[in-house]
Amino acid sequence: MLGCRFLLKISRALSQAKDNTSPFGGINIIFAGDFAQLGPVREQCLFSYIDTRRATTIHGQEIVFGKLLWLTVKTVVLLTQIMRQTGTQNEPFVDLLSRLRIVVGNVQPDWNDPKWAGTPTIVSCNRVKDLINERATEAFAKCTSKPLYWYHSFDTRSSKPIIEPTLQNYLETLDSGKTNQQLG
């Protein structure tokens, strides 16, 4: 997915390349994609609300400018025919995707049903992923009657061990998105 700041970068690059100060250098742009997909990594979504409290920083202003660029899009064409999942065997899946994208219905699956065991869970942030993995690890150990051992990292700074308890506790609370995908 495209973010506000990245859209601004595209516009600035095209304006510079075309030597034209109009948005996108004055050329027509076609955007294609699925607005129901996960948001951009480390970017503000084009369709999200803008936090005006951050508009006092250059980063915040770039988000606002990118959002304003997105709001200049005047023509929208919706493609409604599903091309990737065709055939009658995919109809239930296509129907599910259609309902998910517009949040229709209130699906209440029975998570205790064995068919859900081992099913992948897709989430959009590391903190949720880490919590799910932690709970799944505990549940697996309990289900298999195996002991669970937790091994904690040995953190260093400038090749010296971090021994200050408050800092150690803080480091252990960080999600894997902030620790190069490694948990405490």
Of 162 and 6, more confident: 6
Query: Which residue type sits at 14?
Result: L
**Cβ atoms 152, 123 nearer than 8 A:** no
SS3 content of the chain, % helix, strand, coil (to 5): 45, 5, 50
Q: Is 115 helix (H, G, I), strand (E, B) or coil?
A: helix
The 3-class SS string of 24-78 reads HHHCCCCCCCCCCCCCCCCCCECCCCCCHHHCCCHHHHHHHHHHHHHHCCCCCCC
- Residues 6+ positions from 65 with CB-CB distance below 8 Å: 4, 8
pLDDT tens-digit map of 152-180: 777 888 888 888 889 888 888 877 777 66
| Residue type at position 63 | I
Q: What is the pLDDT of residues 57-73, one digit of tens each?
A: 999 999 999 999 999 98
Mean local confidence (pLDDT), 128-145: 90
Q: What's the whole-model pTM score?
A: 0.53
pLDDT at 24 (0 to 100): 95
Over range 17-25, report the average pLDDT: 96
Helix H or strand E segment including 8: helix 4-18
Strand partners, 161: 156
What is the separation of C-alpha 129 from the centre of its chain, rounded to a whole number of angstroms?
11
Going by pLDDT thresholds of 50, 70 and 90, the confidence category of residue 149 is: very high
